[in-house]
Amino acid sequence: MDDLQKYVLELPLANEALFALIGATAGAVAVSEKYWQVQGLNGARIRVLVEIAKQGGSILPSLLAERIAVTKANISLLLTPLEKDGYITRAAHAQDGRKTVISLTEAGKRILMEQLPGNREAVAAVMNRLDEPELKLLLELLNKLSRG
């Protein structure tokens, strides 16, 4: 084994843990994405609708971009097909006409109510490999990592 191969194969524990986390996350995300594809939907667009719903049904595009960790320029790429499909509307902000407010339509609310339960079941099939105390510990550890 040469030095480079040894270096990339013999990982420090922190790196090994990171790559295991990435692999496990990718597997769970793939299950969720497959669910959306089978339904003829796009997971990223559903995530946008969910985030709007979390904010009470309306949100500024800049806040939405921040919440789903995309650039303000990319948020438009996600919003345009959702508007075309009738899941959202864009309107001028009531107090500041220079701003736009994104709102869920009844069709947007309906698609979430119809499809989220099935997606939750698909994700649970992966995550329920852990029992409840393990899931709570995992959540605690991930929150600790997120806090920096």
Model confidence over 16-37: pLDDT tens digits? 999 999 999 999 999 999 999 9
61 and 79 in contact (C-beta within 8 Å)? yes
Which pTM was predicted? 0.83
Handedness of CA 117, 112, 84, 33 (dihedral sign): negative
Which residue is listed with tokens 């996350």?
A: 25
Q: What is the average pLDDT across 4-11? A: 89
Q: How many CB atoms lie within 10 A of CB 95?
A: 6
Residue 50's nearest CA partner among 42, 71, 137, 5 is 42
For 79, the token pair is 């919003």
Predicted confidence band of residue 72 (pLDDT cuts 50, 70, 90): confident
Model confidence over 43-62: pLDDT tens digits? 999 999 999 999 999 999 99
pLDDT at 98: 81
Model confidence over 94-134: pLDDT tens digits? 887 788 999 999 999 999 999 999 999 999 999 999 999 99
pLDDT at 1 over 80: no
For 69, the token pair is 């960790």
68 and 48 in contact (C-beta within 8 Å)? yes
